Structure 1
Amino acid sequence: MRAFADLLDSLIYTRSRNAKLKLIGDYLRATPDPDRGWAMAALTGELDLKAVKPAVIRAMVDERVDPVLYRMSRDFVGDSAETIALMWPEPATPPALPPEALRLSAVVDRLASLSKADTAGVLGAYLDAMAADERYALLKLASGALRVGVSARLAKTALANAFAVDVDAVEEVWHGLAPPYTALFDWVEGRGEQPTAADVPVFRPFMLAHPLEETIVDLADYAAEWKWDGIRVQLVHVAGETRLYSRAGDDITRSFPEVAAAFRVPGVLDGELLVRGDAQGVGRDDATASFNALQQRLGRKQVSAKMLADAPAFVRLYDILFDGAEDLRPLAWTDRRARLEAFVARLPTESFDISAVIDASDFAHLGEIRAGSRDAAIEGVMLKRRDSPYVTGRRVGLWYKWKRDPLVADCVMMYAQRGSGKRSSFYSDYTFGCWTEGGELSPVGKAYSGFTDEELKWLDRFVRNNTVARFGPVREVEKTLVLEVAFDSIHASKRHKSGVAMRFPRISRIRRDKPAAEADTIAALERLVT
């Protein structure tokens, strides 16, 4: 645990990407198996210690530390693991655990084998035996939320750099391996063959797009498609098995069993998971419902027959990675598109269709088409270079996303809550509302982005100076400040008291010039519902 704790401590205080790559690479080269494999699992979010629940940790803290003092400290620090690590009382006689018992791999093995009844005792003994920085590392490891500024891609890149292999080769086999990745380290250190994903329905990383800002593209070189507002998915059918993966590589097959059952042709496809219009008439001319309808099915391990009937899912296909065992990713987009069109003809039409290419004479014409679209399921336009291969991640000049201009509404701040991490000392999460017909404010959304650091300081002072009630970490404020809120779309929602739900709300302006009474109404928002 000592080396892993030192790594996390260094990563927290390192801003440079290259410096982080070196820190992780040095750790992986110096650390033996299986410790380094479990460290990679933690850094990439692949470690899940099911017995260690937040409620168990909170109960342990309440037994050892004054609960009021802990909550006040947590509110100030903004991070539970850091607060507990610093406040945990040092025992008069620490448990004499042998060094081998405190190895990262030994700790993971022990925590992974615990029953819920034993978790508190074992975790408490570890915390008693460790220094503060090791306690911090242990709690981060156990909770599965490191938050040290390292993405899964960065960790894999560090591994690839450390052992002079191609990061895309690591990505290719990653989801076919399990922690502590012994076969992977055997390969990169020359002791074994390169792992393969043959005959296993594994996830391959998506090709991503850069935002189109000032760039103007020639449609002779780029094809244009609609950017649909659903869930980007990868469909894999290999050796008789079908899997659906989200953009993050999460297996979501059980949430959309009808799509998995319909995909029985060997291959790997890239597309957008959408929901058809329900019985209440949510659908539009192309029978595609809003994201709100899709959201109701996310994360469900069991899907009821009623939900399958009311919100049937389908996939609008963008690209093809494999046709059977043939890897098509090196081909140009034009060639892959032709192969995709041939492939989709072999799939059931009720579950799959293809995203049409937009017919525009030039870039200016495309801009007019984009500006005229305000479809609930359209986020904007994708521009794909016709000769581009399908490559992992974002590559400059290959794919661009040109999102539609956001909607805006003037809303009134109602509540505020402190943020986490570097924002833990600031009230940075704002709930805002609009006026009902009866002249009351009703919450319509929550936002914590879109403002500058200086604006954050101003908003924090406003909250502190205008608090009228406190509810734990939440502050109710005087209903006097108008915030201009930008959002991608808005949908009817039975789960929200106001009856509407915003998609991706963010603060675009602080309207100090506008009286709260002139903010928008719920009725005005309802007219924007698509």
Structure 2
Amino acid sequence: MLTMTDVVTASAEVGGTRSRLAKVDTLAALLRRAAPDEIAPLVGFLTGSPVQGRVGAGWRTLVALDRPPAAAPSLTVGAVDQALTALAETSGKGSTATRRALLDDLFGAATTAEQRFLIALLTGELRQGALEGVMLDAVAKAAEAPVPAVRRAFMLSGRLPATAAIALTGGDLSAIGLQLHRPVRPMLAAPGSSLADALTQLTPCAIEYKLDGARIQVHKTPDRVTIYTRTLREITDSVPELVSLVRALPCSTVVLDGETLALSDDGRPRPFQETMSRFGSTVEEQVKALLLRPYFFDCLHLDGKDLIDLPLRDRAAALRRAVGEHVIPGLVDPSVEDAEELAARALAEGHEGVMVKDLTSVYAAGRRGKAWQKVKPVHTLDLVVLGAEWGHGRRTGSLSNLHLGARDPDGGPPVMVGKTFKGLTDELLRWQTEEFPRYRSGGDDWTVYMRPELVVEIAIDGVQVSTRYPGGVALRFARVVRYRPDKTAAEADTIDTVRGLLA
């Protein structure tokens, strides 16, 4: 029976080393000791994502508990899992008092170190997802299973705790397949240095528009349509026009990957924030005021056949059969001249650039490999906001200068790579000043330090070697493009990606 002290100790050991192998060894050793019913909650705790999701206990509630810590450890993984389940299921009249009583009991049984861990876990301070890749390797090592098999099972199930439980109890990972209405983790693209380089590296290739929209994944069966975001959150009720369009497609069953965005009257893309505003809305008037249009670029299943292991060339052919005019603008096997013309047209129409994709590649979900490359005229990075400084002059009273961090691919905290106050509109300054205190983890008279959860897209002119920041690299002429509410810190660019721009 594992105790929470075991979990806290392992978490501290993982956080205290920069060696990926040491992290994997520590996690694998603890996983081997777990009972079958402890595996899923244990993985959730150690990756900062409890299997219950949000349990209705915010930062202010937790720091106001003021329960004296237990003198000796007694909490088990199972007991904490049960307590979180009870919290998540508490609702209705009297739920506030019930939730407070549950929290009092939980924190009253926790030692000082366990209390700190639980606060970080429940407020999202641990929920960076940065340990995800390390945990996958640890599960494979503990289960003596091939890493690719574990990664594929996770890709298709979308749930790391459940995947770990299957692997560590001797289950058949290969039996986890694509399941309609269970979202698949999306395949990601890496930044390309230039169109010419991407065309040289990826041969044969396809090239298509890089839209400034929101990623969607669509599942259709004869009696049901579901639509998910890139974080696998279901938004079906918020996008009825997309549901109607998918119902009318000439296929019985399908799983599609694509983007959606709102267009202005002249056919140009509307601001990204306007598209994202639809994902939390089910109000008919808002739907009528801002219609979304889908552009599909991949097909993972069609009419009873899974395509995820087929090369992109075959998936692209299936996509055209399934969606017709709703396929994203692009070319297959283009000449250099045709590719350059398409890229110029995409920019002229107000889009971000182009995607270049290896036609021989399979769908490798959840991984930012080189098989897909995004080529934009300006380098952009998705970084984590680590803090903000109070402004001066006209910005006095506003949180302004952002501290920016890149994700540590080995599961450590984000690595600071620079600061910027450029590109911030008055509207963004107001939003930051209202929103950032909700993520506060500390601070002083000059700076509010934040839990690493918010992702911001930053445009840069390049990067340079620097001894000022721990990653040894700093951003050049960084400016804010937009915030990315559709992305979690787990999807931020890594410090390796930032360093890769040095060349």
Match for 1:383: what amino acid?
Answer: V
Summarize the Cα distance change of 1:291–1:359 in structure 2 as closer, same or farther, 3 Å threshold: same
Q: Could you tell me which of 218, 234, 238 is aligned with 1:235?
A: 218
Give the superposition deviation at 1:254.
Answer: 2.3
Deviation, structure 1 residue 199:
5.7
Instruction: Note if contact 1:331-1:389 (Cα within 8 Å) is conserved in structure 2.
Output: yes
- Compute the displacement of 1:31 (Å): 1.5
Structure 2 counterpart of 1:55: 60
Match of 2:22 in 1: 19
Cross-structure match for 1:6: 9
- Matching residue's letter, 1:57: L
Q: Which residue of 2 aligns with 1:295?
A: 276
Contact 1:274–1:291 (8 Å) recurs in 2: yes
Structure 1 pair 454/297, CA: closer, same or farther in 2 (3 Å)?
A: farther
Bigger Rg over Cα: 1
TM alignment of 1:61-460, pairs within 5 A = 64=66, 94=70, 103-114=79-90, 115-147=95-127, 150-163=130-143, 164-165=145-146, 166-175=149-158, 181=162, 185-186=165-166, 188-190=168-170, 196=176, 200-213=180-193, 215-218=197-200, 221-238=204-221, 240-264=223-247, 265-275=252-262, 277=263, 282-285=264-267, 288-298=269-279, 300=280, 302-345=281-324, 353-358=326-331, 362-363=335-336, 366-367=339-340, 370=343, 373-375=346-348, 378-394=351-367, 396-405=369-378, 414=395, 415-416=399-400, 430=421
Shift of 1:148: 6.5
Report the CA distance shift for 1:399/1:431 in structure 2 as closer, same or farther (over 3 A).
closer
Q: Which amino acid aligns with 1:8?
A: S
Secondary structure, aligned partner of 2:106: helix
Residues 70-122 of structure 1 deviation map (CA, whole Å, 9 limit, x = unaligned): xxxxxxxxxxxxxxxxxx755xxx58996559744344345445532133343
Deviates more, 1:226-235 or 1:45-54: 45-54
3-state SS of paired residue (2:24) = helix
- Which has the higher mean CA deviation after the structures are superposed, 4-13 or 392-401? 392-401
Root mean square deviation of aligned Cα: 4.3
SS in 1 for 2:375: strand
Instruction: State the distance in 1 between where 2:105 and 2:328 align.
Output: 56
Equivalent residues of 2:422, 2:479 under 8 A apart: no
| Matches of 1:103 and 1:252, distance apart in 2 | 33
> Which AA in structure 2 matches 1:105?
D
**What amino acid sits opposite 2:294 in the alignment?**
V
SS of the aligned residue for 2:320 comes to helix
190-199 vs 234-243, which deviates more? 190-199
- Write the deviation string for residues 282-323 of structure 1: whole angstroms up to 9, x where unpaired: 3334x643323212213x1x4211111111112101011111
**Aligned residue number for residue 440 of structure 2:** none
| 1:39-75 deviations in Å (ceiling 9; x for gaps) | 2234263432423222322433xxx4xxxxxxxxxxx
Q: CA deviation at 1:131?
A: 2.4
Separation in 2, partners of 1:101, 1:189: 18
Matched residues in 2 for 1:125 and 1:295: separation?
Answer: 39
State the distance in 1 between where 2:78 and 2:360 align.
53
Q: List runs of 5+ in structure 1 lacking aligned partners.
A: 65-87, 436-440, 458-482, 491-503, 505-530
- Letter paired with 1:4: V
How many residues align structurally? Answer: 412
Please give the TM-score of this superposition, normalised by the length of structure 1.
0.65
CA contact (8 A) 2:358 2:371 kept: yes
Alpha-carbon deviations, 1:212-250, whole Å to 9, x = none? 126352486222111111111111124633221222222
- Flag structure 2 segments of 5+ consecutive residues without an equivalent: 381-391, 406-412, 433-455, 471-475, 484-491, 493-503
Structure with bigger RCO (C-alpha 8 Å, 6+ apart): 2
1:357-409, Cα deviation, whole Å (9 max, x unpaired):
248964466446535654575111111122222222447552211123269xx
Contact 1:41 1:180 in 2 (8 A): yes
